[in-house]
Amino acid sequence: MRIDQSYRRFDIAATLSPLPGNRAIATVDVTTDDPARIADLGTGYFLQIRKWVESNDVAQLTVVFDECKVAIDHYADNVDDA
């Protein structure tokens, strides 16, 4: 399962990889073309998340995806208000 979306000038790619026992690992990579917003200039990523989830279900991936959007909102609001 995969979700790709642009959000507040960030590109979010989220995947869910199945594990034994119907568990999964959610992987979310957040990138941007705006060099002022890149947290790690060495990798080009703003944010990377690897999280175990209880089931191999798109709803679990959506929760992690939405958590990343909250982090983006917090960061972008601080930057845009500066």
CB atoms within 10 A of CB 13: 14
The whole-number pLDDT of residue 78 equals 63
pLDDT band, very low/low/confident/very high, at 28 (cuts 50, 70, 90): very high
CB-based contacts of 50, cutoff 8 Å, min separation 6: 25, 26, 27
The whole-number pLDDT of residue 40 equals 63
- Which of 10, 16, 1 has its CA nearest to residue 54? 16
Reply yes or no on whether the pLDDT at 58 is more than 80: yes
CB-based contacts of 81, cutoff 8 Å, min separation 6: none
Work out the average pLDDT over 42-57.
86
pLDDT band, very low/low/confident/very high, at 79 (cuts 50, 70, 90): low
Q: Whole-prediction pTM value?
A: 0.80
